[in-house]
Amino acid sequence: MKHRWIFIASALVLIVSACQLPGAAPEPGLFPTPDLTMTAIYAVLFETQVTDTAIPAVVTETPLPTLTPFPTLTPFPTFTFTPLPPTPTSTSIPTQTSLPPTATATRIPPTNTPRPFIRSGASITATYLGVRPDINGSLGEWNLTKYTVSSVVFGGNLWDNADDLSARVQVGWDTSNLYLAVEVIDEDYEQNTSGVNLFRGDSLEILLDTNIAADFYLDYFTPDDFQLGISPGSPVPDEDPEAYLWYPTTIDGGRSQVEISAVRTDDGYNVEVAIPWSVFEMTPLAGQHYGFAFSVSDNDIDGGIAQQSMISNVASRILADPTTWGDLLLYRP
């Protein structure tokens, strides 16, 4: 230990002596500045003493990166909530209107049924007349098809036979009128009433559905269905003949515009009739089909008022059910 301190002292002497020797000035940068000389010496001594001690590395502080500020958030748009409309109150379905007492359930027609409709009952063809017939009760000028009227549709218990009541009818037309020429066999002519009651005596009846395409499946009267009665005369044929419209009831009443003429025959009577189309509130159309039934009523009570029986060209005829009527075709050559 003594030798170590001797060595250190000698070294210090040599260093001091060296510093005092004359010579050229040291070049700048080769030695440290005077202020740092002692620091260097002590640094060497310190290093010699702590050779076995690790000197920690100098940690250079890395500056944190500059944070980019978050972009300013666009506020959500303000939503205006429109209140929902109130729940609609269900509308009551109207109660179905009851059908007339004589009507039954109505069948709905298929949408693809062809027009015009044609009734399935007995068919009569009305031929176009180029020359208007004379309405005088004489049927000599008529030369059309004669259709038999013989089906008993009312009062069968009071109908005896064809001599009691039967008939044949010819039908013609033009743009002004519907024409009928009727031969009736009736042993006893009795017509003792008039107007709304004329059916309660010897008389004729025309049923006409003017628009079957509109109500083909309806089994009750509608405004385009007509019932017209013809009295050949009272108390004898051709004396005060008249026509009366029963249906539609909204326009019922006498029809003086209907021309009627009748004559008494050996076994009954003949009648000619010209009915203006205006009575049926329609315009005729060639080739068109219409619902139709022709009937004859009979009263055999001497001086009495009664409808005892009725015959028709349509066996299925029911007055208030147009679906049971027959067919009328307006034919024009």
In this predicted structure, what is the pLDDT of residue 41?
A: 37
CB of 291 closer than 8 Å to CB of 206: no
In this predicted structure, what is the pLDDT of residue 11?
A: 53
In this predicted structure, what is the pLDDT of residue 117?
A: 82
Q: Which domains does the chain have, with CATH numbers?
A: 124-331 (2.60.40.1190)
In this predicted structure, what is the pLDDT of residue 53?
A: 43
pLDDT digits 0-9 by tens, 3-40: 554 555 555 544 444 444 444 444 444 344 444 434 43
In this predicted structure, what is the pLDDT of residue 9?
A: 52
In this predicted structure, what is the pLDDT of residue 232?
A: 98
In this predicted structure, what is the pLDDT of residue 256?
A: 98
Name residues of the chain where pLDDT drops below 50: 2, 5, 13-60, 62, 70, 76, 79, 81-113
pLDDT digits 0-9 by tens, 149-161: 999 999 999 999 9
